Structure 1
């Protein structure tokens, strides 16, 4: 069974979670990178993201949309931005063929959990199997992650 861990990270917190998931599962790691990065100023980045999310905008990507054909299980990760995934993740979902794939969402958050992410994944990936997923705060422990993965696989 081939595992792929795909993620978008703004500050590095989601990247660390993605790297840990890849380490534990033996999955390949793939970063989603937008053509135009968000502002280094957190407040400005939030404004940029809010505008994109409200419009349903899919920013062009320079990395991350390579074929997922050989993957059976795909972990897809994002920070929780305004109760959903970051716009680059939406770009990824629309760019690759996820039909028949098992999707395990994961996110980092400051207290909001998944928000409405799971519903949004179900809307975007209608022909995929969407698992419960893993939502963790940035200060999660490696053992906590291992336990959550065991219950999701």
Structure 2
């Protein structure tokens, strides 16, 4: 994601941001998942390993890559969705995303995964926001214990590649085994099938 100079806007004033954080933290404290989605089939791939593909996509780019992975690999797939959508205007979203990152704020989710215990491998997708995972994905990662799990990130970007997502993944999931990540430019997601296939082969994952 391109970096911008911060500006306060009418759509996201300091007061509304603080209010949003307060409300969001309260919602998480009361009920971490306002509505959860369980991926129920837990189909086994790659030598009996059960795979979960979980991702957040604002523009649709990460969704395209996630669906390409799902087509090639199988397993279960869940799209994270926030209770309050991000602004439609790109600049406003970048400003909100930067504030959330600085505040270590995780927006409440209306769809997520309430139980990751059945899965051996979790593929985590996100757009690159300020060099790392989008806040909804960071929130998902912070909610679960990934001890003994294998996790691999896939990131869509416009020049920042994986950024520091791998390092942040190791911090958020210290007891997991972190596998190599995949970075796909937003403008190339429609032709990413070959890159996805090569990546899954490097991870030794297949149907």
* TM superposition score category, shorter chain reference: over 0.9
Q: Larger Rg: 1 or 2?
A: 2
2:184 to 119, 136, 151: 136
Structure 1's unaligned 5+ residue stretches are: none
- Match status 1:81 vs 2:129: yes
Give the equivalent residue in structure 2 for 1:116.
164
Please say if residues 128 and 163 of structure 2, whose CA atoms lie closer than 8 Å, have aligned partners that are also in contact.
yes
RMSD value, Cα: 1.0
Moved more, 58-67 or 117-126: 58-67
Measured after TM superposition, the shift of residue 131 of structure 1 is 0.5
Cross-structure match for 1:149: 200
1:68 aligned to 107, 116, 119, which one? 116
Segments of structure 2 that go 5 or more residues without pairing to the other structure are: 1-48
Aligned counterparts of 2:103 and 2:137: Cα–Cα separation in 1: 15
TM-score between the two structures when normalised by the length of structure 2:
0.72
Could you say which residue in structure 2 is the equivalent of 1:106? Answer: 154
- Mapped to 1, the partners of 2:105 and 2:90 lie a distance apart of 19
The more displaced of 94-103 and 44-53 is 94-103
Corresponding position: 1:34 with 2:82? yes
Structure number with the higher strand fraction is 1
**Cα distance in 2 between the residues matched to 1:62 and 1:46:** 21
Misfit runs of 4+, over 6 Å: none
TM-score, length basis structure 1: 0.96
